[in-house]
């Protein structure tokens, strides 16, 4: 199936990577004790890995569908192996529920593979239906589980015969890995059904014969029948989240949601106004430390400091913005980076002011008037606060983009000179974007300090800025939905990769590169709103 | 010498050229005229390999070149003077000319060609140590043409050499184009807005409209053509 | 609340006066030995920054990308040198041979990494929106750091002293070390070689042409992809030399050294005007000297703060850096 040329090139690539990684992967020295360890197996792994990766990329270039299928199959087949090697778990070999589900997945998979290359349309639709059922089931079960958890204490004992059904779901541990499978398959299904959908909508003419730009799947998100149910589902999910998952999960979700807000804030600066800010975390730090310090010295509460944090953020934004916003693109980038580092280094070294690297602890959590919250309760409270913050941010950002100033930002991003010629005050417009972005960072900073009850400079490194920037770019620069999705993906991914703790940042970096190489315009390219001017009013 | 068959070229999903076919014989001057955005520059860029065609073939001296990288195409002897001249602004005039001979190794012949060009455009000799960016528009056009000639091309693609120049300078440049064609036997593919002038120096001409070739004839016949006169000659 | 304010301000103010350490230290201003020591440490620092900054500025000049992974190349160069020199010293090679072989290995592998990174992470993004390659570079930087962390170790590794103490340096050894001398000499030689290459060789000319006008470079027959690869390889080789020199100067390395050095070198490149090669060298020496004198005379805690403040100050007065051309950005 694969041409010989690809195999030969693959071998050459493998050889190159063996050479490339030779000193670092194979040799390990101990300069003190003067010993060398030669790790030859690593060489084999590198060779095999790069060879397979090369062939896979070649395959993907030729046939996208086949490549996705191969990925699904690999995930499917590799799971028991990974399970075995990581946990010494052989449960897959014993015939039980887990195994039967696993087998069912395999069978479906097989059918799909066979049918995929079959051009029969109806067959494919039926298959899609089956898949939808198959994937829908766990979602329904999940909701049932939640309902059961909440309702269980309230239902009369007579109805408890229902509970085994609900509770069994809780203790089956195969969820954890089967879910991964579901995610992979859901992705595949979404992809193929959207393909079918698009194909049915589009004219028969292949798209290279029309002059219209290709329809992007993201545009379907803006269609009513698609986004309404999706929105309902998502909002229910997020509202019920603390009741569905453990405190640990809720904590993770809170920080993911904070990054959503940070992403949306930076999106104003980078995505909308086109100003490359690499030191966004500085304003975040300003917010966090303003709550920490004001709380420590003056006992100011969360609700008082929240606006103060925002204002301080904006103040620092303007302070930095006035001198540096004249700089062009990449100069601005490095100056903001420098500013971010200055703030962090000052916090780290000025012990009397910020207590240095050890940070400030015992910051008050946000109080709920009249209620004494337990630890768990306060986390849930925090969760809802963050949700409110997210909604507020989305609302404001959305309104801003359609406003006069929002259009000025877009215009400025596209062409500065033309804008000035049309009478847009460049400096003021940029400064507004910069300050507004900083305001959000300041407010999330306060939220962050309140959530962790502890701040230290290590939370505000360049890596944070980089991650927030990645969220914006990966989301597709200027798209709100894109930013939300990519924030959730980028923040939750490393958390759930904790099982591979050592490898998670490695994978994170690789994912960034791969995403950019294969989707350079981000997940969702922003759809520009068009304004139609009524001829009669002119 | 050059044969273009059924070329389709796209920018992303936007098709700029539809089924273009044309041919250029050795020693000829041919011209391609058309309105703004007709796809003239795109045709040249497709030939040079900068915007490779999606469909169709380009044969140069019988060999297909439409899948070759641009540097390879240059090495075969096809040179282009792009629209807007594209002088390397920070290289001196002499260095700019030197870049034109980038793929050549025959030092002596290069020196002789340089002399020939300096004689052709004496102003360049005077300015040879100045950065290219400091020349005037007309001087830059002369430099751009000379730079392409330094490669000793068999086929010279010229994209709007008269753009932004005073009529007198334009005339001068066209005279030189003719001279190069006659003295060095360089084949010339001329793209022009100034259809009148172009058709006067050319042997044959093609008319391009919205990415389609609509007319092809001898230059004098095109000059006499009513439609061409109305659309491109302003008569 | 009032006691709070008093305590707050009380903690707040006295500190700023201790920035200038004390009166006795101020007297050091007039001690020539101390001054020369600082001068040389500043020059050494500047030379190292310059070696790294050149890679940044060359890559930026040619494809307009802030190559965040460049600091990691420097770190990989240092690690390769460490591994090779340790292996060789175990097998009992003489010091000079170790130094040369380690340098060669560092250069070879760092260049190989530079080349591979460009092929994998940047070349597919040649026509992508401006920020995409930047994110790719950040991803690459995170990846490489963790790759070295996992393949080698997270601890600081002692780096062998590859430069012996020269006898003729004995009288001034308390001011200028032998390593400083080697760093200065080597980096000056390398920079001269680079200048010659860029000014006079065919490749150098192709690089300059490509940096100025990519489309035209293609049209005169330059293989732009190759030129870009060569730029990455050259930049990486310089960074590797820098990595080797600084590692044997400082005496220890870990996977994280690339980050801060990279940021500083980039700062230096911007200071001088990014894209300009003399600018990068000038910027690096200014940065090195500023850091050295500021830490020597004012406070060592704020070394990086001085560096970045200098950057902000210079860019306020010269928005395109010291030797950069102030062009209007065209998008
Ligand atoms: N880089 C590009 N990206 C997208 N579309 C382009 C690009 N360059 C040209 N086009 C489109 O291709 C078509 C042909 O352009 P081309 O530059 O070939 O025209 P032209 O005939 O040279 O016009 P002119 O006389 O103005 O130079 C135009 O519709 C133009 O909008
Ligand atoms: Mg044109």
Q: pLDDT averaged over consecutive 10-residue blocks of chain C (331 residues)?
A: 40 42 54 82 90 91 89 93 91 88 94 95 87 88 92 86 75 76 89 90 91 91 94 94 88 86 88 86 92 82 82 82 60 32
Ligand 1 atom 14, closest CA: B39
For domain B2-232, the CATH class is alpha beta
Q: Tell me how far apart the 2 most distant CA atoms of chain A are, in Å.
A: 87
Any bridge partners for residue B187, and if so which? B155
Task: Give the whole-angstrom CA distance, residue B61 versus residue B199.
Answer: 25
Q: What are the chain C neighbours of B159 within 8 Å (beta carbons)?
A: none
Sequence-distant (≥ 6) Cβ neighbours of residue B11 within 8 angstroms = B42, B51
Output the CA torsion sign for A102, A106, A111, A116: positive
Ligand 1 atom 16, closest CA: B39
Burial pattern C62-95, b for ≥16 Cβ within 10 A else e, equals bbebbbbbbbbbbbbbbbbbbbbbbbbbeeebee
The ligand 1 atom at the shortest distance from the C-alpha of residue B40 is 21
The string of DSSP codes covering A154-221 is GS-GGGGGGHHHHHHHHH-TTHHHHHHHHHHHHHHHHHHHHHHHHHHHS-SS-TTTSSSPPPPGGGGG
Any bridge partners for residue A397, and if so which? none
**Is residue B4 classed as helix, strand or coil in its secondary structure?**
strand
Is the distance from the beta carbon of residue B39 to the nearest atom of ligand 1 less than 6 Å? yes
Instruction: Mutation target for C interface from A331, A415, A489: give the one with most C CBs within 10 A.
Output: A331
Given a cut of 70, the residues of chain B with pLDDT beneath it are 235
Task: Report pLDDT for A209.
Answer: 38
- Please, which residues 202-231 of chain C have a Cβ atom closer than 8 Å to chain B? 202, 205-206, 208-209, 212-213, 215-224
Task: Give the whole-angstrom CA distance, residue C204 versus residue A358.
Answer: 51
CB-based contact C208:B90 (threshold 8 Å): yes
Cβ neighbour number for residue A487 with a 10 Å cutoff: 28
CB-based contact A460:A285 (threshold 8 Å): yes
Q: Quick one: which of A506, A484, A488 has its CA closest to A497? A: A506
Q: Quick one: which of A444, A376, A377, A387 has its CA closest to A235? A: A387
Instruction: Mutation target for A interface from B8, B10, B13: give the one with most A CBs within 10 A.
Output: B13
CB contact under 8 A, C301 and A333: no
Instruction: Note the helical H segments in C23-172.
Output: 23-27, 32-63, 70-90, 95-117, 131-151
Cα B83 to middle of ligand 2, angstroms: 6
Task: Give the whole-angstrom CA distance, residue A282 versus residue A459.
Answer: 10
Task: Report pLDDT for A156.
Answer: 52
H or E segment to which residue B16 belongs: strand B14-24
Task: Give the whole-angstrom CA distance, residue C307 versus residue C290.
Answer: 7
Task: Report pLDDT for C36.
Answer: 84
Write the DSSP symbol of residue B84: T
Q: Quick one: which of C262, C290, C278 has its CA closest to C321? A: C278
H or E segment to which residue C313 belongs: helix C303-317
* Neighbouring chains to C with at least 3 Cβ pairs closer than 8 Å: A, B
Task: Give the whole-angstrom CA distance, residue A410 versus residue A177.
Answer: 44
Instruction: Mutation target for B interface from C210, C217, C220, C279: give the one with most B CBs within 10 A.
Output: C220
Given a cut of 70, the residues of chain A with pLDDT beneath it are 1-2, 65, 68-69, 72-73, 75-80, 82-229, 416, 419, 496-501, 525-538
Q: Which bin fits C201, alpha (ψ -120 to 50), beta or left (φ > 0)?
A: beta
Provide the terminal-to-terminal Cα distance of chain B, rounded to the nearest Å: 34
Helix-, strand-, coil-residue percentages of chain A, each rounded to 5: 80, 0, 20
Task: Give the whole-angstrom CA distance, residue C80 versus residue C77.
Answer: 5
The ligand 1 atom at the shortest distance from the C-alpha of residue B39 is 18
Task: Report pLDDT for A119.
Answer: 54
Task: Give the whole-angstrom CA distance, residue B123 versus residue B110.
Answer: 19
Q: What are the chain B neighbours of A214 within 8 Å (beta carbons)?
A: 13
Provide the terminal-to-terminal Cα distance of chain A, rounded to the nearest Å: 64
Cα B34 to middle of ligand 2, angstroms: 9
Task: Give the whole-angstrom CA distance, residue C49 versus residue A150.
Answer: 61
pTM score of the predicted model: 0.83
Q: Quick one: which of C286, C251, C241 has its CA closest to C76? A: C241
Q: Quick one: which of B135, B149, B136 has its CA closest to B90? A: B135
Q: How close B15 comes to chain A (CA, Å)? A: 6
Cβ neighbour number for residue A502 with a 10 Å cutoff: 11
Any bridge partners for residue B158, and if so which? B81, B190
Q: Quick one: which of A483, A491, A482 has its CA closest to A440? A: A483
Task: Give the whole-angstrom CA distance, residue A221 versus residue A216.
Answer: 10
CB-based contact B219:B199 (threshold 8 Å): yes
Domains in chain B: boundaries: 2-232
Task: Give the whole-angstrom CA distance, residue C283 versus residue C306.
Answer: 14
Task: Report pLDDT for A13.
Answer: 94
Task: Give the whole-angstrom CA distance, residue C23 versus residue C38.
Answer: 19
| Partner residue opposite C218 with nearest CB, options B70, B90, B151 | B70
Q: Which bin fits B25, alpha (ψ -120 to 50), beta or left (φ > 0)?
A: beta
Sequence-distant (≥ 6) Cβ neighbours of residue A507 within 8 angstroms = A493, A494, A497, A500
Any bridge partners for residue B213, and if so which? B208
Task: Give the whole-angstrom CA distance, residue C206 versus residue A376.
Answer: 65
Q: Quick one: which of A253, A246, A201 has its CA closest to A385? A: A253
Write the DSSP symbol of residue A92: G
Task: Report pLDDT for C273.
Answer: 85
Task: Give the whole-angstrom CA distance, residue B60 versus residue B25.
Answer: 10
C139 at interface of A, judged by CB pairs closer than 8 A: yes
CB-based contact C129:A477 (threshold 8 Å): yes
Cβ neighbour number for residue B168 with a 10 Å cutoff: 9
The string of DSSP codes covering B125-170 is HHTTTSBGGGS-HHHHHHHHHHHHHTT--SEEEEE-TTTT--HHHH
Domains in chain C: boundaries: 44-258
Q: Quick one: which of C321, C54, C131 has its CA closest to A331? A: C321
CB-based contact A332:A275 (threshold 8 Å): yes
Q: Quick one: which of C114, C111, C58 has its CA closest to C280? A: C58
Task: Give the whole-angstrom CA distance, residue A9 versus residue A16.
Answer: 10
């Amino acid at each position: 199936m694969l041409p010989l040329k690809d195999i030969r090139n693959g071998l050459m690539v493998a050889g190159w990577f063996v050479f490339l990684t030779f000193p670092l992967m194979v040799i390990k020295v101990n300069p003190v004790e003067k010993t060398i360890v030669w790790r030859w197996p690593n060489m084999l792994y590198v060779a095999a890995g790069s060879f397979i990766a090369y062939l896979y990329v070649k395959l993907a270039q030729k046939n996208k569908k086949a490549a996705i299928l191969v990925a699904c199959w690999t995930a499917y087949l590799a799971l028991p192996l990974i399970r075995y090697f990581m946990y010494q778990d052989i449960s897959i070999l014993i015939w039980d529920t887990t195994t039967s589900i696993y087998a069912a997945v395999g069978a479906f998979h097989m059918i799909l593979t066979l049918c995929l290359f079959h051009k029969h349309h109806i067959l494919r639709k039926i298959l899609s239906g089956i898949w939808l059922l198959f994937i829908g089931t766990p979602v329904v079960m999940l909701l049932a589980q939640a309902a059961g958890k909440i309702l269980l204490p309230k239902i009369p004992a007579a109805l408890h015969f229902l509970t085994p059904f609900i509770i069994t779901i809780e203790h089956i541990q195969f969820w954890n890995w089967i879910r991964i499978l579901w995610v992979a398959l859901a992705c595949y299904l979404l992809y193929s059904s959207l393909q079918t959908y698009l194909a049915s909508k589009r004219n028969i003419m292949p798209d290279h014969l029309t002059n219209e730009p290709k329809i992007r799947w993201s545009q379907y998100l803006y269609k009513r029948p698609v986004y309404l149910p999706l929105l309902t589902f998502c909002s229910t999910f997020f509202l019920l989240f603390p009741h569905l998952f453990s405190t640990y999960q809720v904590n993770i979700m809170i920080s993911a949601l904070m990054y959503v807000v940070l992403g949306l804030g930076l999106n104003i600066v980078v995505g909308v106004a086109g100003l490359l800010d690499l030191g966004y975390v500085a304003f975040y730090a300003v917010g966090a430390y303003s709550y920490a310090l004001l709380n420590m010295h003056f006992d100011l509460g969360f609700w008082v400091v929240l606006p103060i944090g925002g204002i301080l953020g904006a103040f620092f934004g303007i302070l930095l913005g006035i001198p540096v916003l004249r700089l062009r693109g990449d100069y601005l980038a490095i100056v903001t980076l420098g500013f971010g580092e200055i703030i962090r280094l000052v916090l780290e070294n000025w012990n009397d002011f910020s207590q240095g690297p050890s940070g400030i602890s015992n910051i008050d959590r946000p109080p709920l008037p009249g209620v004494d919250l337990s630890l768990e309760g306060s986390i849930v409270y925090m969760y809802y606060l963050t949700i409110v913050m997210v909604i507020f941010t989305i609302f404001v950002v959305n309104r801003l983009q359609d406003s006069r100033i929002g259009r000025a930002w877009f215009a400025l991003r596209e062409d500065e000179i033309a804008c000035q010629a049309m009478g847009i005050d460049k400096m003021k417009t940029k400064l507004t974007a910069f300050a507004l972005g900083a305001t959000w960072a300041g407010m999330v900073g306060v939220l962050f300090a309140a959530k962790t009850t502890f701040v230290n400079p290590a939370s505000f490194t360049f890596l944070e800025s980089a991650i927030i920037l990645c969220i914006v770019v990966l989301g597709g620069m200027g798209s709100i939905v894109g930013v939300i999705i990519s924030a959730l993906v980028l923040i939750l991914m490393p958390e759930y990769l904790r099982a591979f703790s050592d490898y998670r940042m490695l994978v994170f970096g690789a994912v960034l590169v791969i995403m950019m190489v294969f989707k350079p315009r981000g997940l969702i390219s922003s759809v520009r709103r068009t304004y139609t001017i009524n001829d009669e009013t002119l | 010498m050059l044969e273009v068959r059924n070329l389709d070229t796209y920018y992303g999903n936007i098709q700029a050229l539809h089924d273009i076919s044309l041919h250029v014989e050795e020693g000829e001057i041919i011209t391609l005229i058309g309105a703004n955005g007709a796809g003239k520059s795109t045709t040249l860029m497709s030939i040079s390999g900068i915007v490779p065609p999606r469909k169709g073939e380009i044969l140069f001296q019988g060999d297909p070149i439409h899948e070759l990288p641009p540097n390879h195409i240059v090495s075969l002897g096809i040179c282009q003077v792009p629209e807007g001249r594209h002088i390397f602004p920070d290289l001196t005039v002499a260095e700019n000319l030197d870049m034109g001979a980038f793929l050549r190794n025959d030092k002596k012949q290069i020196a002789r060609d340089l002399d020939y060009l300096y004689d052709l455009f004496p102003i360049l000799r005077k300015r040879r140590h100045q950065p290219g960016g400091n020349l005037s528009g007309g001087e830059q056009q002369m430099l751009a043409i000379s730079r392409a000639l330094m490669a000793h091309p068999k086929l010279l693609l010229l994209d709007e050499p008269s753009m932004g120049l005073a009529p007198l300078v334009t005339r001068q440049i066209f005279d030189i184009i003719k001279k190069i064609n006659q003295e060095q036997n360089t084949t010339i593919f001329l793209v022009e807005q100034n259809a009148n002038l172009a058709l006067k120096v050319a042997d044959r001409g093609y008319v391009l409209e919205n990415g389609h070739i609509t007319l092809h004839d001898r230059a004098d016949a095109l000059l006499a053509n009513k439609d061409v006169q109305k659309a491109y000659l302003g008569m | 609340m009032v006691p709070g304010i008093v305590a707050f301000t009380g903690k707040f103010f006295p500190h700023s006066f201790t920035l200038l350490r004390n009166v006795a230290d101020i007297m050091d201003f007039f001690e020539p030995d101390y001054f020369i020591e600082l001068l040389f440490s500043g020059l050494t620092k500047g030379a190292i920054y310059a070696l790294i900054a050149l890679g940044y500025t060359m890559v930026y000049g040619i494809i307009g990308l802030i190559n965040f992974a460049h600091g990691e190349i420097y770190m990989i160069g240092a690690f390769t040198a460490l591994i090779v020199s340790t292996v060789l010293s175990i097998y009992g090679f003489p010091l000079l041979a170790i130094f040369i072989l380690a340098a060669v290995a560092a250069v070879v592998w760092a260049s190989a990494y530079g080349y591979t990174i460009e092929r994998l992470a940047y070349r597919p993004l040649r026509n992508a929106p401006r920020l995409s390659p930047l994110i790719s570079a950040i991803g690459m930087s995170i990846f490489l750091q963790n790759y070295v962390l996992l393949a080698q170790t997270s601890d600081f590794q002692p780096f062998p002293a590859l430069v012996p103490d020269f006898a003729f340096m004995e009288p001034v050894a308390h001011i200028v070390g032998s390593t400083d001398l080697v760093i200065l000499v080597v980096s000056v030689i390398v920079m001269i070689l680079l200048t010659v290459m860029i000014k006079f060789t065919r490749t150098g000319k192709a690089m300059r042409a490509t940096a100025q006008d990519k489309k035209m470079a293609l049209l005169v027959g330059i293989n732009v992809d190759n030129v870009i690869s060569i730029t990455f390889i050259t930049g990486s080789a310089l960074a590797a030399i820098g990595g080797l020199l600084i590692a044997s100067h400082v005496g220890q390395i870990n996977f994280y050294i690339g980050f801060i050095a990279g940021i500083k070198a980039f700062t230096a490149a911007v200071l001088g005007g990014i894209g300009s090669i003399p600018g990068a060298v000038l910027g690096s020496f200014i940065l090195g000297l500023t850091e050295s004198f500021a830490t020597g005379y004012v406070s060592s805690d704020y070394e990086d703060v001085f560096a970045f403040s200098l950057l902000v100050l210079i860019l306020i007065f010269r928005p395109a850096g010291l030797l950069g051309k102030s062009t209007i950005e065209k998008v």
